[in-house]
């Protein structure tokens, strides 16, 4: 596919800003609000920030690595950019929708690309009940927290919490405990992308918990519902030689 109107956005790092200046000098560009495609320069964090910022524009995002972690980005090269964009392979993602209810009964909704995480706020461990599609699967989980991750987010916080890496495009979600104390050996679960996850906070006043959906934090929650938002689609573009599937397999076998 040919993209006529290209926009460039960059992280605040020196490498990303230098790349931005060089690319704008080399190629004609337009503001992101007018673009057919947005080229994001930075790391995975910049890619996620760009996806959030231009979610309603529904245009593809092509990342080039000018940051620390570049799992979701292509190699940085300045030459033949229009040709690379025309040859790029699209991968579609759906964000998660979090609906959090606080102890005071207030409801807060947010979309996230990476994960929804619940974390203890105080010195005592959280005590949670986990239900999937209306069935209680974990009556009581004592832990520092728990998270629900998308395939795109499975290599972020989820991986640090020893959760599974999920191939981008797979219709799966990772349900991963954070420092589980009881049951100590529970490592989480892989759920279908259509799953409706409900996490109830037990003893919420004594053991307060916050919920975080990417950049949105809700304090003192008593219930959090998470499901994939199929009505919202984000498109990432990858060079054919980027071979995202191979990178995912390699990551899983890295000591």
Q: Which active-site residues does the annotation give?
A: 44
Closest CA to 175 of 154, 200, 203: 154
- 10 Å CB burial of residue 185 (0-12, 13-18, 19+) is exposed
What is the per-residue DSSP string for 128-164?
EEEEETTEEEEEEEEESEEEEE-TTTTTTHHHHTTPP
Q: What does DSSP assign to residue 90?
A: E
Q: Which tokens belong to 75? A: 């190699």
Query: What is the DSSP annotation of 154-203?
Result: TTTHHHHTTPPP--TT-SEEEEEEES--BTTT---EEEETT--EEEEEET
Q: Which among 177, 220, 179, 180 is positioned nearest to 197, based on CA atoms?
A: 177
Tell me how far apart the alpha carbons of residues 241 and 122 are, in angstroms, rounded to a whole number. Answer: 47
Token reading at 207: 């053991």
Residue with tokens 């069935």: 135
């Amino acid at each position: 596919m040919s993209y006529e109107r290209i926009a460039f956005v960059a992280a605040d790092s020196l490498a990303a800003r230098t790349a931005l200046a060089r690319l704008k000098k080399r190629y004609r560009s337009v503001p992101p609000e007018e673009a057919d495609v947005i080229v994001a320069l930075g790391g995975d964090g910049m890619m996620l920030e760009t996806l959030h910022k231009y979610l309603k524009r529904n245009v593809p995002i092509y990342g080039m690595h000018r940051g620390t972690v570049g799992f979701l980005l292509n190699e940085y090269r300045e030459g033949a950019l229009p040709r690379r964009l025309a040859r790029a392979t699209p991968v579609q993602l759906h964000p998660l929708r979090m609906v959090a209810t606080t102890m005071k009964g207030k409801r807060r909704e947010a979309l996230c690309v990476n994960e929804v995480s619940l974390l203890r706020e105080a010195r005592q461990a959280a005590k949670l009940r986990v239900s999937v599609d209306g069935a209680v699967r974990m009556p009581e989980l004592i832990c520092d927290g728990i998270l629900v991750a998308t395939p795109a987010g499975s290599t972020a916080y989820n991986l640090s919490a020893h959760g599974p890496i999920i191939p981008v495009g797979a219709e799966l979600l990772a349900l991963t405990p954070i420092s589980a104390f009881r049951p100590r050996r529970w490592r989480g679960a892989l759920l279908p992308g259509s799953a409706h996850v409900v996490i109830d906070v037990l003893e919420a006043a004594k053991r307060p918990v916050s919920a975080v959906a990417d950049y949105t934090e809700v304090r003192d929650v008593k219930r959090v519902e998470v499901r994939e938002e199929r009505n919202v689609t984000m498109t990432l573009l990858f060079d054919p030689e980027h071979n995202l599937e191979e990178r995912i397999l390699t990551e899983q076998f890295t000591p």
